[in-house]
């Protein structure tokens, strides 16, 4: 009789794409390298009243999208344990009422180990631990490059973070050093797999000897992504622009209306499933520094010009890029020309930034995390 597979329960919250993308990456990594284990993914918002889920997501999108400075103010003010304790307790109490189906499902899965890619399911699952409805280690993967108080799930048995600085912050707050693992943020296996550059260039219709600039659905303040593309076209640098508009047809149409000058070739895409290929052949990425975008760029050693970051976690990602020498903050459209010339016009500088990005990236983080989870299950976790 074959031994029963070990079950890893991966919990996410669909607030932005990043947390679900990292969850999928863990499931894929487990399937690819560990046939003796099973990774089951559950999103907490799939098992709560639809109206509450919509409200939760809408609240974030409205605050971050329409009132970014107010969002940043709240983000900074709540980055203190004592200030966040009462709001967190209230939110967790509300979640207890709205996430009953989710809690029942988690308990019914009888996992050997649980890992959360968002603090929300971590806080909710803590209820099961306190009531002794589950008896397995629960961990949290911090999917930002800044250790905000939001991520401090008090009943977590272990943490997975991206930097030694983040670990130091947790240790300072009383978390045991041996329970904090510096590995990185998971990316999809496609970013690890070897690829043929010439084949990708032919596929997307690009030339080898002209710089490639990739921009992904990134507007400028309250204006659409066509403003960013137009600014790129007017830098006076010969380039090939890959403009990915995503699922927004209106944005794609506005970009299509632009007339590139001589020396600039503009290729426009809607939603794509090969962004990893585009990143691997691009010379620079111009985009908002969202968590997934930043992590994926670093995974392939792609320098990034971060535009229009939302105060809060996006600004934290931007600061990390700058510290690592893998990117720059572009807070004025006029500064695009300077930064693009620094990367595309100065070969040594461009090479240096690509090396810095490559050193900062952790393309195998998903695989290393699965390895760690199974090792912790075998050897036990200090709790």
Write phi, then psi, for 290 (nearest 5 degrees): -65, 160
* Position 383 pLDDT exceeds 60: no
Per-residue pLDDT tens over the stretch 108-148: 999 999 999 999 999 889 888 888 889 899 999 999 999 98
The pLDDT, as a whole number, for residue 321 is: 96
pLDDT tier for residue 382 given thresholds of 50, 70 and 90: low
Alpha carbon 3 to its chain's center: 35
* Position 163 pLDDT exceeds 70: yes
Q: Higher model confidence: residue 18 or residue 202? A: 202
* Position 343 pLDDT exceeds 60: yes
The pLDDT, as a whole number, for residue 188 is: 95
The pLDDT, as a whole number, for residue 186 is: 96
Among left, alpha and beta (phi > 0; psi -120 to 50; other), residue 210 is beta
The pLDDT, as a whole number, for residue 80 is: 74
Burial of residue 368, with CB atoms counted within 10 A of its CB: 0-12 exposed, 13-18 middle, 19 or more buried: middle
Give, as one character, the DSSP assignment of residue 68: H
Burial of residue 186, with CB atoms counted within 10 A of its CB: 0-12 exposed, 13-18 middle, 19 or more buried: buried
Q: How far apart are CA 235 and CA 67, in angstroms?
A: 30
Task: Identify which of 159, 49, 38, 43 has the alpha carbon closest to the alpha carbon of residue 110.
Answer: 38
Q: What is the mean pLDDT of residues 268-274?
A: 90
* Position 222 pLDDT exceeds 80: no
The pLDDT, as a whole number, for residue 82 is: 66
Per-residue pLDDT tens over the stretch 283-332: 999 999 988 899 999 999 999 999 988 888 899 999 999 999 999 999 88
Q: Higher model confidence: residue 80 or residue 364? A: 364
pLDDT tier for residue 84 given thresholds of 50, 70 and 90: low
Per-residue pLDDT tens over the stretch 223-252: 678 888 998 998 889 999 999 988 888 888
* Position 149 pLDDT exceeds 80: yes
The pLDDT, as a whole number, for residue 55 is: 87
The pLDDT, as a whole number, for residue 1 is: 37
Task: Identify which of 22, 196, 207, 11 has the alpha carbon closest to the alpha carbon of residue 109.
Answer: 11
Q: How far apart are the first and last CA of the chain?
A: 32
Per-residue pLDDT tens over the stretch 15-66: 877 788 999 999 999 999 999 999 999 999 999 888 888 888 888 888 887 8
Give residues with Cβ within 8 angstroms of 331, minimum separation 6: 307
Structural domains of the chain in order of their starting residue, each with its CATH number? 6-187+363-379 (3.40.50.2000), 194-360 (3.40.50.2000)
pLDDT tier for residue 5 given thresholds of 50, 70 and 90: confident
pLDDT tier for residue 335 given thresholds of 50, 70 and 90: confident
Task: Identify which of 306, 368, 354 has the alpha carbon closest to the alpha carbon of residue 145.
Answer: 306
* Position 81 pLDDT exceeds 70: no
pLDDT tier for residue 218 given thresholds of 50, 70 and 90: low
Poorest-pLDDT segment among 62-71, 85-94, 154-163, 261-270: 85-94
Q: How far apart are CA 86 and CA 164, in angstroms?
A: 29
* Position 13 pLDDT exceeds 50: yes
pLDDT tier for residue 333 given thresholds of 50, 70 and 90: confident
Mean pLDDT score across all residues of the chain? 89
């Amino acid at each position: 009789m074959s031994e029963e597979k070990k079950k890893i329960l991966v919990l996410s919250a669909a607030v932005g794409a990043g947390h679900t993308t990292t969850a999928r990456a863990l499931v894929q990594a487990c399937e690819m390298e560990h046939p003796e284990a099973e990774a089951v993914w559950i999103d907490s918002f799939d098992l709560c009243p639809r109206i509450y889920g919509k409200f939760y997501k809408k609240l974030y999108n409205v605050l971050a999208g329409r009132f970014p400075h107010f969002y940043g103010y709240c983000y900074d003010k709540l980055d203190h344990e004592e200030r966040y304790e009462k709001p967190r307790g209230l939110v967790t109490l509300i979640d207890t009422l709205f996430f009953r189906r989710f809690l029942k499902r988690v308990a019914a899965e009888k996992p050997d180990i649980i890992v959360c890619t968002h603090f929300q399911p971590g806080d909710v699952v803590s209820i099961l631990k306190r009531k002794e409805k589950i008896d397995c280690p629960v961990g949290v993967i911090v999917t930002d490059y800044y250790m905000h108080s939001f991520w401090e799930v008090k009943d977590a048995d272990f943490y997975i973070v991206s930097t030694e600085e983040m670990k130091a912050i947790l240790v300072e707050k009383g978390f045991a050093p041996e329970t904090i693992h510096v590995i990185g943020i998971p990316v999809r296996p496609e970013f690890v797999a070897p690829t043929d550059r010439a084949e990708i260039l032919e596929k997307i219709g690009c030339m080898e000897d002209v710089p490639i600039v990739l921009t992904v659905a990134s507007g400028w303040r309250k204006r659409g992504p066509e403003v960013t593309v137009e600014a790129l076209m007017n830098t006076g640098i010969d380039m090939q622009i890959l403009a990915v508009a995503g699922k927004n047809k209106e944005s794609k149409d506005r970009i299509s209306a632009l007339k590139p000058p001589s020396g600039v070739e503009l290729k426009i895409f809607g939603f794509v499933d090969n962004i990893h290929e585009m990143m691997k052949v691009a010379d620079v990425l111009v985009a908002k520094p969202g968590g997934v975008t930043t992590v994926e760029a670093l995974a392939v050693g792609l320098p990034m010009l971060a535009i229009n970051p939302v105060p809060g976690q996006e600004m934290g990602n931007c600061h990390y890029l700058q510290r690592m020498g893998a990117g720059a903050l572009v807070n004025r459209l006029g500064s695009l020309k300077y930064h693009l010339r620094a990367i595309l016009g100065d070969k040594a500088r461009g090479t240096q930034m690509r090396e810095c990005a490559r050193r900062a990236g952790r393309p195998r983080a998903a695989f290393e995390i699965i390895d760690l989870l199974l090792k912790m299950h075998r050897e036990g976790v200090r709790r």
